[in-house]
Amino acid sequence: MGFPHPSHPKETVVLSQYFGDAEARSYDGWVKRGGYLALRKALGMDRGALIEEVKASGLRGRGGAGFPTGLKWSFMPKGDGKPHFLVCNADESEPGTFKDREIMRWTPHALIEGCAIGAYAIEAERCYIYIRGEFTEPWAVMTRAVEEAYANGVLGENACGSGKRVDITLHRGAGAYICGEETAMLNSLEGRRGNPRIKPPFPAQAGAFGLPTTVNNVETLAAVPHILNRGAAWYKGLCLGNPKSTGTKLISVCGHVARPGNYEITLGTPMKDLIYDMCGGIPNGRKLKAVIPGGSSVPILTAEEAEHCVTDYEGVVEAGSMLGSGGMIVMDDTTDMVYQIWRLARFYAHESCAQCTQCREGTGWTTRILARILAGEGKPTDYDLLLDLSKNMTGTTICVLSDSCAVPIVSGIQKFKNEFEAYISHQRKPAFALGPA
């Protein structure tokens, strides 16, 4: 539901049903709406059966990678005698994405319930929810909700009277983009600098504090109670022709649309419906120019590509991009693509953790070249240079921040070269002036 807009008929409202419903934030309000039934059910289930149920639903990670959730849970060692951890990634730092924020703001208990079920499934007695530092309101709401959950016996050493221990600890980040990368998050959680770790070992072998850990996104975990309540078959049935992409997905739409906000769609919905129907199209009589469909780290789609794109994991890949986190940035024909790409590159240059050479130096260098182009000082050789640097920055580093910086540059040059050309050939006035070199 595109809160604060009313739900659109083309949406499939599951997770967002209570967005805007202040009463749903409280424990009593949540229980009145059917809350915590799924947790009680889960705690009575065999862990294997629980994981099978999630596997059968086809639920895939909503943080960006789209890895099957049940399969991820099944990677955790069983009965190894070590403490396990579930870490909920609520760092939501990908530019253009703001769906997890709404889940935490309006339905904190949905997340708590999902976390508790997930923790039980992977033999973890403790779940950490790592909340983005800038999320002051979600932090306050989640803090209150966790207190309520403890006060009502949902959490603790005898969760829901099941005799099983489930604890949830909230951890607040300090505002680094990279801490949304799961291994950087684990370092940050441990009190270290938020640098991504080398994989292997994967978190399921050695994660938080060196112990088996699963990291799941907020939206993924919030979907789990619905799957248990209504059955895997129901969830799997939420599908428009592609059985690999099932269920609903919150899409955060921002930019040049009449009604920006979160929209919950059944995976497989045409992107055209999303932009033109649900979001009310491009305002002021403008035309669509480009869409970044999955958060700032994915390739840019042209208007034509976006209009023919099916919004599910495979569909967006087919169109030449990725569904990612579902943060959709819509740009109309007034948008200066070079400027936008520079803004993105600058963001990555600012947020690079500085570990890997290509990322530390490459993000800064490409940003400076883009600034030079915008200032009317670009050179015809800058295309090749940017593309070559982007190649060196792709697939060569510990995490994908460097790749993410290269992606909009490469797709931007491929699809909007005329706009670069306009700056380089002085057909267009410089966007800004550079300082003295």
Partner 1 sequence: MSQEMVTVTIDGIAVSVPKGTTIIEAAKQAGVLVPHYCYHPSLPSPAVCRMCLVEVEKAPKLMPACVTTVADGQVVHVQSERALEQRKGVLEFLLINHPLDCPICDQSGECELQDYTFQEGRSATRYTDFAKRFNPVEDFGPDILYVPNRCILCTRCVRFMDDVAQEATLNVSERGDRAFIGIAEEQRLDHPWSGNVVDLCPVGSLLSKDFLHKARVWDLDKTGSICTGCSQGCNITIEMRDEVVVRLKPRPNMDVNRHFMCDHGRMNYRWMNRGDRVEAPLVRNGSGPSGAADWDRALDAAAALIRAASGRAVILASGRASVESLGLVRKLVDSLPVTAAIKVPLGDEAPLAGVPNLALRRERVPNLDGGRLLGYTDDWDAAVEAARSADIVLVLDAELSEAEAASLDAATGKVIALSTLVADWQGRAAVVLPVTTMAEETGVYINRDLRAQRFQQAKAPPAMARPAWWAAGEILAGQGPDADAPSSAAEAFDMVTRGHPSLDGLTHDALGWAGRVVAGGAGVGA
Residue ranges in contact with partner 1 by CB under 8 A: 176, 193, 198, 349-358, 360-365, 368, 372, 377, 385, 389, 391-392, 395-398, 437
| One-letter amino acid of 263 | Y
Smallest distance from partner 1 to CB 263, Å = 34
Smallest distance from partner 1 to CB 351, Å = 7
* Cα gap 249→238, rounded to integer Å: 10
Q: Dihedral, CA atoms, 200, 202, 206, 210, nearest 10 degrees?
A: 80
Question: Which is nearer to partner 1, 233 or 434 (by Cβ)?
Answer: 434
* Cα gap 298→12, rounded to integer Å: 25
* 343, 409 Cβ separation under 8 angstroms: no
Residue 45 structure tokens: 């289930």
Question: Which is nearer to partner 1, 125 or 361 (by Cβ)?
Answer: 361
* Cα gap 402→396, rounded to integer Å: 9
Question: Which is nearer to partner 1, 259 or 368 (by Cβ)?
Answer: 368
Question: Which is nearer to partner 1, 49 or 385 (by Cβ)?
Answer: 385
Smallest distance from partner 1 to CB 369, Å = 9
- Residue 288 parent element (H or E): strand 288-292
- Count Cβ neighbours within 10 Å for each residue of 53-66 and write b for 16 or more, e otherwise: bbbbbbbbbbbbbb
DSSP 32-57: HTTTTHHHHHHHTS-HHHHHHHHHHH
Smallest distance from partner 1 to CB 382, Å = 10
* Cα gap 98→87, rounded to integer Å: 19
Smallest distance from partner 1 to CB 347, Å = 10
Question: Which is nearer to partner 1, 91 or 351 (by Cβ)?
Answer: 351
Question: Which is nearer to partner 1, 129 or 389 (by Cβ)?
Answer: 389
Smallest distance from partner 1 to CB 72, Å = 21
Question: Which is nearer to partner 1, 291 or 371 (by Cβ)?
Answer: 371
Smallest distance from partner 1 to CB 155, Å = 35
Beta strand pairing status for 124-131 and 288-292? unpaired
